[in-house]
Amino acid sequence: MNNVTRILNAIERGDAGATEELLPLVYEELRLLAAQKLSHEAPGQTLQATALVHEAYLRLVGDAPQSWQNRGHFFAAAAEAMRRILVDRARRKKSQKRGGARQRVDLEGLDAASDEPPEYLLRLDEALTKLSQQDPQVAELVQLRYFGGLTLEQAAELQGISRRTAGRYWNYARLWLYREVTAEDRADS
């Protein structure tokens, strides 16, 4: 059992000291994921990779007891936490602007969540929630790639599926999400 999984099991058992052991082991990897997501942010934005990692980590190991089966499960939870943080931030931006110019965004560039307009990110979140109800494994792959910043190979490994299956899931998800996200634009036309 690797160190991260051992520490996650200790946290689940209630070992308070294990939480302090976990951060040094996962911090750099989480920071790289966060930096990748924020590298496409517009100049002058205020959210930094360090802040995103810290907020996600606090959500993961906060007061509520957590249960992670292994390292992959922990990083999937981290991707979900980063997704929630970015979506919450987009909601705040949208409410401050009270609307604004909509922009059509091609999902081919699905590698950067944070540089999208808040309206797009909110529509993507709604569509991803719908997808997770229909096909949770495909939705988790999208979360790992889009919000977690993982490559297709890394996401496949964490999910325990082949690279080829992950590729099929990814292609399906991109088309499905594109149709969902742009449905409102087509209805307005």
The string of pLDDT tens digits covering residues 56-71 is 888 887 766 667 777 7
Write the pLDDT tens digit of every residue in 74-119.
888 888 888 888 888 877 777 655 444 444 445 554 444 445 677 7
Selected residue with higher pLDDT from 49 and 165: 165
Q: Is 44 left (phi over 0), alpha (psi -120 to 50) or beta?
A: left
Residue 74 structure tokens: 């922990």
- For residue 36, give the H/E element and its range: helix 16-38
Lowest model confidence (mean pLDDT) among 102-111, 134-143, 180-189: 102-111
Compute the radius of gyration of the chain from its Cα atoms: 17
- For residue 89, give the H/E element and its range: helix 71-97
What residue type is assigned to position 161 of the chain? Answer: I
Give the whole-angstrom CA distance, residue 127 versus residue 186. Answer: 15
For residue 165, what pLDDT is reported? 95
Selected residue with higher pLDDT from 64 and 147: 147
Can you tell me which residue has the tokens 């999984």?
Answer: 5
What residue type is assigned to position 172 of the chain? Answer: Y
Contacts of 103 (CB under 8 A, 6+ apart): 117, 120
How is the chain split into domains, by residue range? Answer: 3-188
Give the whole-angstrom CA distance, residue 152 versus residue 129. Answer: 20
Selected residue with higher pLDDT from 51 and 164: 164
Give the whole-angstrom CA distance, residue 57 versus residue 78. Answer: 7
For residue 101, what pLDDT is reported? 44
Selected residue with higher pLDDT from 97 and 184: 184
pLDDT of 186 over the 70 cut: no
Write the pLDDT tens digit of every residue in 11-43.
777 777 777 788 788 888 888 777 776 766 655
133, exposed or middle or buried, with CB in 10 Å at 0-12, 13-18, 19+? Answer: exposed
Contacts of 71 (CB under 8 A, 6+ apart): 2, 4, 5, 8, 158
pLDDT of 172 over the 80 cut: yes
